[in-house]
């Protein structure tokens, strides 16, 4: 039982490049979330999904897009990376919105 798996774990991008972060969960959870973590800022919600085929904006959605084509996967895309997007990205999932969230190990992204 892998839980929540994020790929890749580390990535360095040049400004303007694009990439996709993949989050996969094997717990049949309905809810999935993408957060970014920056020093002193806590975990800020980028986008979230309450079920397959649905997505919604969080607190800091600008510069990111997401897709939830399959229930087990939640993709986070950066179309044109900027240095301000240098961060640690965490994906999480939960069975319902009011139950505990399980986190992936995180992706450390550096944009130069």
Partner 1 sequence: GQQVMQIPQYQHVQEGEDFTTYCNSSTTLSNIQWYKQRPGGHPVFLIQLVKSGEVKKQKRLTFQFGEAKKNSSLHITATQTTDVGTYFCAGKPSNTGKLIFGQGTTLQVKP
> Which candidate, 1, 12, 8, places its Cα nearest to that of 76?
8
Calpha distance 34→32 (Å, rounded): 7
Q: Is 75 an interacting residue with respect to partner 1 (CB under 8 A)? A: no
Residue 97: CB minimum distance to partner 1, A: 5
Q: For 74-105, give one letter per residue: b (16+ CB within 10 A) or e.
A: bbbebeebeeebbbebbbbbbeeeeeebebbe
Q: What angle do CA 7, 78, 94 make, to 5 degrees?
A: 50
Residue 8: CB minimum distance to partner 1, A: 15
Judged by CB under 8 A, which of 7, 15, 80, 99 binds partner 1? 99
Q: Is 74 an interacting residue with respect to partner 1 (CB under 8 A)? A: no
Which CB, 21 or 92, lies closer to partner 1? 92
Calpha distance 21→97 (Å, rounded): 22
Judged by CB under 8 A, which of 58, 68, 70, 74 binds partner 1? 58
Q: Is 95 an interacting residue with respect to partner 1 (CB under 8 A)? A: no
**Contacting residues toward partner 1, per CB under 8 A:** 31, 33, 35, 40-45, 48, 50, 56, 58-59, 90, 92, 94, 97-106
């Amino acid at each position: 039982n892998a839980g929540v798996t994020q790929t890749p774990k580390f990535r360095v991008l040049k400004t303007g490049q694009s990439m996709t972060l993949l989050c996969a969960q094997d717990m049949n959870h309905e809810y999935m979330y993408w957060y970014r973590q920056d020093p002193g800022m806590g975990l800020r919600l980028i986008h979230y999904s309450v079920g397959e085929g649905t997505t919604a904006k969080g607190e800091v959605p600008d510069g990111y897009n997401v897709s939830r084509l399959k229930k087990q996967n939640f993709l986070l895309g950066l179309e044109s990376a900027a240095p301000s997007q240098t961060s640690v990205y965490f994906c999480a999932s939960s069975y319902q919105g009011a139950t505990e969230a399980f986190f992936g190990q995180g992706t450390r992204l550096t944009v130069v």
